[in-house]
């Protein structure tokens, strides 16, 4: 990983080391070389790093998209809560410089149910900002303000995680 010299190089190196040693991945080596420095610092330091570890269970282990529609890149990573090993997604909105944790010990509403664990998710990708097709028993589709995250269980259910301007919500796509 090539790091530009700056006054925060010590913090960046610490963040990279913390992320590298906190990732519970046996079969896939995670390359942090193309993750921006400020994102590494957000996910690898402070109270977030004490509560969560980044997971490499799903490839890719992070997504880059404009989730809040502000024209700036945002990042989502798979995480595991250290206290109970529950899985979730942490989304860093660059404009707010804030991490939103979905699942991983935090209650998140999926269609008609709620869960604190995203263990079922084994596929994900960025869903471009476009019209959303009507989902299965999901009510009217949302109008996306930015890109969304399409998540699911291979050969089973799937849904969109999208930003409504205040928080992240779920829209069921298929069963």
**pLDDT tens per residue across span 36-76:** 777 777 777 778 889 998 888 888 888 999 999 999 999 99
Q: Where are the domains of the chain?
A: 52-174
Dist CA 78 CA 87 (whole Å): 7
Query: Residue 67 gets which letter from DSSP?
Result: T
How many Cβ atoms are within 10 Å of 22's Cβ, its own excluded?
17
Does pLDDT of 94 surpass 80? yes
Q: State residue 20's pLDDT score.
A: 41
Does pLDDT of 1 surpass 60? no
Q: State residue 138's pLDDT score.
A: 63
């Amino acid at each position: 990983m090539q790091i530009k010299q700056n006054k925060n190089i010590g913090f960046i190196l610490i963040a990279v080391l913390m992320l590298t040693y906190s990732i519970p991945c046996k079969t896939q080596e995670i390359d942090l070389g193309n993750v921006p420095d400020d994102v590494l610092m957000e996910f690898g330091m402070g109270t977030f790093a004490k509560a969560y570890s980044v997971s490499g269970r799903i490839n890719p282990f992070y997504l880059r998209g404009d989730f809040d529609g502000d024209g700036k890149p945002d990042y989502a990573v798979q995480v595991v809560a250290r206290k109970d090993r529950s899985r979730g997604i942490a989304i860093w909105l660059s404009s707010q410089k804030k991490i939103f944790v979905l699942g991983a010990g935090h209650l998140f509403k999926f269609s008609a149910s709620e869960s604190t664990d995203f263990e079922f998710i084994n596929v994900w990708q960025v869903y471009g900002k476009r019209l959303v097709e009507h989902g299965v028993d999901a009510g009217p589709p949302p109008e996306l303000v930015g890109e969304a995250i399409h998540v699911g269980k291979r050969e089973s259910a799937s849904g969109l995680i999208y930003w409504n301007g205040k928080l992240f919500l779920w829209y069921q796509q298929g069963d």
